Amino acid sequence: MTIADIQPIRLSLVDTDLPAAAAAFGDAFRRTGFAVVADHGIPQSLIDRALIATRALFALPAATKARYVIPGGGGQRGMTAFGIEAAKGAARADLKEFWHVGRDLPAGHRFSATMPPNIWPDEVPDFHAAVGALYAALDAAGRRMLRAIAVHLQRAPDFFDEPVAEGNSILRLLHYPPVQIAEAGAIRAGAHEDINVITLLLGAEEAGLQLLSPDGTWHDIAAPQGSLVCNIGDMLQRLTGGRLPSTTHRVVNPVPERAAFPRYSTPFFLHFRPDYRIETMPGGPLTAPPITADAYLHERLREIKLL
Ligand SMILES: O=C(O)CCC(=O)C(=O)O
Ligand SMILES: [Fe+2]
């Protein structure tokens, strides 16, 4: 199987034929662990604009970027430096640096303590507008996908609407610098599962992303131009008792001819609101006690060395 064999699901199907959309997502997740989504409504011009701002951000001197690291913040906003995050249980840190954008909440909001205000880099004037707009567009696309997933789970179409409307979702702007020989043994991103509900991944221009499919083989994944890839995270796996298993994935190092090239990518980690109780649905292969989304997140942030 290659990504070219996978039929993209048009997201407009959610509006025109929700049962068909539900069946298409369910089938894609069961067969491959992920879904390719076309017609997602995010303009390519916005994606391009956000990438230009992202490149400008990571081109800043390390000392400038270091000013945007928030000590004790678990990497939830602003900059996380190269060599910090590590896949759970991995001996070496990943070969990446990233910037996190969260949801803007009004001052004094009940979630302000767990969802702190964003910070923005002064040095890149368009960053706030471009990346903020990309956050909103991915948030909207993700909520539409969740309508199909809800119906696939035999729930009402709006099952996820309220739990994610003020969700602690994060847009991650990732930069993998060129890979140096000295770093042999480390990998751009070690095999892991995402913590959140679902992840939306726009296409990266450099190869490297691989997903482990249910048949136990790794597949190279690149979202075709104009589409995005959706994978299940651990919170949805836990909620569904494993009926929707989270998708293991990694980013392998470049082939020698591409080693001098950086890689940029932008996963959107869609989360529940912090106080949502994840109560495992009966009938699946896994059981787990109820836990709030925030308690679960913090447990997992410690495992990946962000706390
Ligand atoms: O860079 C990518 O394509 C994927 C990144 C990823 O899996 C992550 O940051 O959780
Ligand atoms: Fe991931």
Checking DSSP bridges between strand 209-212 and strand 78-80, what pairing results, if any?
unpaired
pLDDT in tens, the chain (307 residues): 566 667 899 999 999 999 999 999 999 998 888 999 999 999 999 999 999 999 999 999 999 999 999 999 899 999 999 999 999 989 899 999 999 999 999 999 999 999 999 999 999 999 999 999 999 999 999 999 999 999 999 999 999 999 999 999 999 999 999 997 666 678 999 999 999 999 999 988 899 999 998 788 998 998 888 899 999 999 999 999 999 999 999 999 999 999 999 999 999 999 999 999 999 999 999 999 999 999 999 999 999 888 8
Burial status of residue 231 (CB atoms within 10 A of its CB: 0-12, 13-18, 19 or more): buried
The Å distance, Cα 250 to ligand 2 centre, comes to 7
What's the CA-to-centroid distance between 174 and ligand 1, angstroms? 8
Closest among 161, 54, 172, 166 to 103, alpha carbons compared:
166
Strand partners, 80: 98
Nearest to 250 by CA among 88, 102, 100, 134: 88
Nearest to 292 by CA among 168, 145, 135: 168
- Quick one: which atom of ligand 1 is closest to the CA of 250? 7
Where would I find the beta strands (DSSP E) of 78-136?
A: 78-80, 97-101
Q: Is the CB of 274 under 6 A from ligand 1?
A: no
User: Is residue 292 packed enough to be buried (19+ CB in 10 Å), middle (13-18) or exposed (0-12)?
Assistant: middle
Max Cα distance, the chain (Å): 53
Q: Is the ipTM of this complex over 0.95?
A: yes
Q: Is 119 in the pocket of ligand 1 (CB under 6 A)?
A: no
Instruction: Show contacts of 254-258: CB within 8 Å, 24+ apart.
Output: 254/179, 254/206, 254/207, 254/208, 255/207, 258/206, 258/207
What is the Å distance from ligand 2's center to 44 Cα? 22
Residue 201 Cα: closest atom of ligand 1: 3
Q: Tens digits of per-residue pLDDT, 5-30?
A: 678 999 999 999 999 999 999 999 98
Q: Where are the alpha helices (DSSP H) in 36-174?
A: 44-58, 62-66, 127-152, 161-165
CB 297 within 8 A of CB 75: no
The finding on whether 172 has its CB within 6 A of some atom of ligand 1 is yes
| Structural domains in the chain, sorted by start | 2-303 (2.60.120.330)
Q: How far is the CA of 251 from the centre of ligand 1 (A)?
A: 7
C-alpha to C-alpha distance for 52 and 127, rounded to whole angstroms: 9
- Residue labelled with tokens 């702190």: 116
